[in-house]
Amino acid sequence: MLEELVGSTWHRFITKRSDNQYPEAIVYLDDVRHITGIFFRALGGEGGLRVENATDSDVHAKRTLLQRIAGTGDKTQYAWRDEETLRLPQSIALFPTKKLNIDLYIWLTALSVVSVEEGDWISRNQYRTAKTLAIWPGLKRRYHDLLAAHLEQRPKPTMLSAGEAKQELAICLALNDSQQSVHLDYAKRPPQPVVLWLHPSPPAIEFNVSRPVQDPDLPEAAQDKPQQKQQKRKQGNRTDMPEGNDGLMSFRLESLWSWGEYSKVDRTSIEDDDDDAMQTAEDMDNITVAQDSQTTSSKIKLDLDLPASQYDDIVLGEGIPVDEWDYKKQRLQKDHCRIIPMTARDAEAVDLPDRLKAQARKIRRQFEILRPQRHWLSRQNEGSEIDLENYINFLTDRKHGHVNSDTPVYRDLRNQSRDLSCLVLADLSLSTDAHVNNTSRVVDVIRDSLYLFSEALSVTGDRFALHGFSSRNRSHVRFYNIKGFDEPYNDNARGHINAIRPGYYTRMGAAIRHASQLLEKEATSQKLLLIITDGKPNDLDKYEGRYGIEDTRQAILEAEKKGLQPFCVTIDEKAEDYLPYLFGKNAYILIRNATELPAKLPQLYLRLTR
């Protein structure tokens, strides 16, 4: 115990003495992620990019004696970007004030908007700096404050060897004058990191260990079950798959249990291999991944494979081809996906669940005001009765010699109905199997929402349809028919709502395109496409990441061009990172408490259609 106390005390002491940062002024990326995302897009950056944590990079520059003793100063996080993400440091505590640390996030974000392909590390960053200040001169004061603070922290050339001092002078010259051509000569150690510049050599390949590596050419490739997401993204390498027959295994004989040492004691433990693997990945800076020609689907066959035909839902037809957008090629891929219309096999007519009846009565009373009512329409050329007021005016005009044979003198009793149609598209992916509390899953909340929504619209007489979707790859996008526009809402429809269950993945773009085709056929003037989801688009193949985001956004734009009104209702807490880009800032709503969705959905519809 004494050794542990002395060791931990020494570790805290030497680490604190060697640390040249300011923990009291630390700013985390999570605190400014939303701001940097908006700022990046406001400066003209690509809207589909996500803002995420950067990876750790090795620092081989000279360290102080205290840093070598404490084992610190050998890692840093550079800012950089790739096709899908803008990477910023997980936290910044380089300067003594929070304002300067926030300003550094803002500056790095602005610097990443400028693209440059040629040149070495210094010339690329010099070009970015000069162009950023030329395009957005309002950043000059912020940059010069950061530059002065950073130059103050850089090592003094007099404390370095001749070669390293020459490198440091060149770096400072490049920082002070972006037009000055600078060349670094070889030295024993590289210069200290330049925190005002982007990554000197961004990794070409990076893996997120929360997802498996998948081959889009293998339609049966399986996605691993949900895991905890790692705190930091890892730099990755590819290598060949080892044969498995070679290698050396060593062990200490002292680690083996002997019969005399073993005692049967009840040591209850809860072990989770996945958690152990995640912790191992957290401790690693670089992950090497090998991939062979085999798939792991057989290990999780019960989770991912389609059920046998006698147990699966009923397929309606051979499938419907649907386009998909490829953002890299900036073109629409004709008939790239296939919609599989389906209906529940085990749907049986049911009454509204007892737990929802009181709430349904309340909602129906609220929607009574929208029920179509019969009104007398005056001044009609044809009608069921004489409009006395207009008939008297007609007789008066004729007596004074003003004869007009076209004067409308009838009135008629007619229905005034709302001229709108609504299609509800529910995400029924595997993630809806997650629990929102001790008694309900996400799919249960969606089911109750469809019940109450249908109860409300059955009162108004509005035309509405209910559909759900999930996917397994581009050739298998399951589109569930719960209730069509021309089908009545009755016990049979409630049976189909009751039969919904979690499916597979979320190829949202294809589902939106097919739903738009159905809604476009409606003859009403207002057409609302209401999408309910609990997460972002994803699928087994390359639909993961930005590809799925861009395809979904394109599908929404296509729906708007058809005169439809797309609106998204989500319970995903991270939705504000991507839904404004997909739907616009006024065409989505985030419901933070998922259990409130059934009550809020009808009220939202009331607000959208009034």
Pick 518 or 10 by higher pLDDT.
518
**Residue 452 near residue 599 (C-beta atoms within 8 A):** yes
Average pLDDT over residues 129-152: 92
Average pLDDT over residues 171-178: 88
- Cβ neighbours for 98, distance < 8 A, ≥ 6 positions apart: 25, 26, 27
Confidence of residue 547 (pLDDT cuts 50, 70, 90): very high
Burial of residue 343, with CB atoms counted within 10 A of its CB: 0-12 exposed, 13-18 middle, 19 or more buried: middle
Provide φ and ψ at 270, rounded to 5°. -120, 105
pLDDT at 98 over 80: yes
Provide φ and ψ at 434, rounded to 5°. -75, 150
For 307-311, 346-350, 485-489, 564-568, which range has the lowest pLDDT when averaged over its residues? 307-311
Q: C-alpha 451: how far from its chain's center? A: 27
Look up the pTM and report it. 0.65
Question: H-helix or E-strand containing 126?
Answer: helix 121-135
Q: Which residue has the tokens 């008694």?
A: 439
Residue 134: both structure tokens together: 């030329």
- Cβ neighbours for 211, distance < 8 A, ≥ 6 positions apart: 223, 224, 544
For 225-239, 326-340, 439-453, 496-510, which range has the lowest pLDDT when averaged over its residues? 225-239
Full set of structural domains in the chain with CATH = 15-176 (no CATH), 314-367+418-609 (3.40.50.410), 376-415 (no CATH)
Average pLDDT over residues 251-263: 50
Confidence of residue 119 (pLDDT cuts 50, 70, 90): confident
What type of residue is 26? I
Residue 445: both structure tokens together: 């909340």
Confidence of residue 18 (pLDDT cuts 50, 70, 90): low
pLDDT at 216 over 50: no
522: left (phi over 0), alpha (psi -120 to 50) or beta: beta
- At 560 the pLDDT is 95
d(CA 395, CA 410): 14
d(CA 311, CA 346): 9
Residue 528: how many other CB atoms lie within 10 Å: 20
Q: Which of 239-243, 274-278, 382-386, 602-606 has the highest mean pLDDT?
A: 602-606
Q: What is the pLDDT of residues 313-362, one digit of tens each?
A: 888 888 999 999 999 888 999 999 999 999 998 889 999 999 999 999 99
Residue 513: both structure tokens together: 């395109």
- E-strand ranges in 489-579 read 526-533, 565-570
Alpha helices in 154-231 (DSSP H): 162-176
d(CA 467, CA 476): 16
**209 three-state secondary structure:** coil
Confidence of residue 516 (pLDDT cuts 50, 70, 90): very high
Burial of residue 25, with CB atoms counted within 10 A of its CB: 0-12 exposed, 13-18 middle, 19 or more buried: middle
DSSP letter for 411, please: E
Instruction: Spell out the long-range contacts of 123-130 with Cβ–Cβ below 8 A and sequence spacing 24 or more.
Output: 123/181, 123/182, 124/198, 125/174, 125/194, 125/197, 125/198, 126/174, 126/178, 126/179, 126/180, 126/182, 127/178, 128/197, 128/198, 129/178, 129/196, 129/197, 130/178, 130/179
- Per-residue b/e over 82-111, b at no fewer than 16 CB within 10 Å? eebbbbbbbbbbbbeebebbbbbbbbbbbb
- Cβ neighbours for 298, distance < 8 A, ≥ 6 positions apart: none
For 40-49, 203-212, 340-349, 427-436, which range has the lowest pLDDT when averaged over its residues? 203-212
**Residue 453 near residue 483 (C-beta atoms within 8 A):** no
Q: What percent of the chain has pLDDT over 70?
A: 75
d(CA 247, CA 608): 65
Average pLDDT over residues 290-295: 54
d(CA 349, CA 509): 32
pLDDT at 90 over 60: yes
**376 three-state secondary structure:** strand
Alpha helices in 323-438 (DSSP H): 354-367, 388-399
- At 153 the pLDDT is 86
pLDDT at 300 over 50: no
Overall residue count recorded for the chain in this entry? 610
Residue 139: both structure tokens together: 């950043």
d(CA 133, CA 111): 9
Q: What is the pLDDT of residues 389-429, one digit of tens each?
A: 777 777 777 777 776 666 776 776 555 567 889 999 999 99
Could you tell me the CA-to-CA distances from 452 to 139, 434, 597 in Å, in that order? 52, 21, 10
Put the strands of the sheet holding 206-207 in their side by side order.
Answer: 206-207, 234-239, 286-290
Residue 314: how many other CB atoms lie within 10 Å: 13
Q: C-alpha 284: how far from its chain's center? A: 26
Average pLDDT over residues 303-315: 64
Burial of residue 158, with CB atoms counted within 10 A of its CB: 0-12 exposed, 13-18 middle, 19 or more buried: exposed
- Cβ neighbours for 500, distance < 8 A, ≥ 6 positions apart: 344, 426, 428, 443, 446, 447, 450, 468, 480, 482
- At 57 the pLDDT is 80
What rounded mean pLDDT belongs to the chain? 80
- Cβ neighbours for 179, distance < 8 A, ≥ 6 positions apart: 126, 130
d(CA 123, CA 129): 10
CA angle 40, 41, 46 (to 5 degrees): 100
Confidence of residue 261 (pLDDT cuts 50, 70, 90): very low
Instruction: Spell out the long-range contacts of 269-273 with Cβ–Cβ below 8 A and sequence spacing 24 or more.
Output: none
Residue 43: both structure tokens together: 């400066």
User: Which residue(s) pair with 321 in the sheet?
Assistant: 338
- At 535 the pLDDT is 86
Provide φ and ψ at 313, rounded to 5°. -65, 165
Rg (CA), the chain: 32
**Residue 428 near residue 532 (C-beta atoms within 8 A):** no
DSSP letter for 308, please: P
CA-based diameter of the chain, in Å? 127
Q: Kindly tell me the number of DSSP H helices and DSSP E strands found in the chain.
A: 17, 22
- At 270 the pLDDT is 39
Residue 590: how many other CB atoms lie within 10 Å: 14
- At 405 the pLDDT is 65
Q: Which of 160, 215, 216 is nearest to 188 (CA)?
A: 160
Question: H-helix or E-strand containing 259?
Answer: none
- At 235 the pLDDT is 58
- At 215 the pLDDT is 42
- At 225 the pLDDT is 43
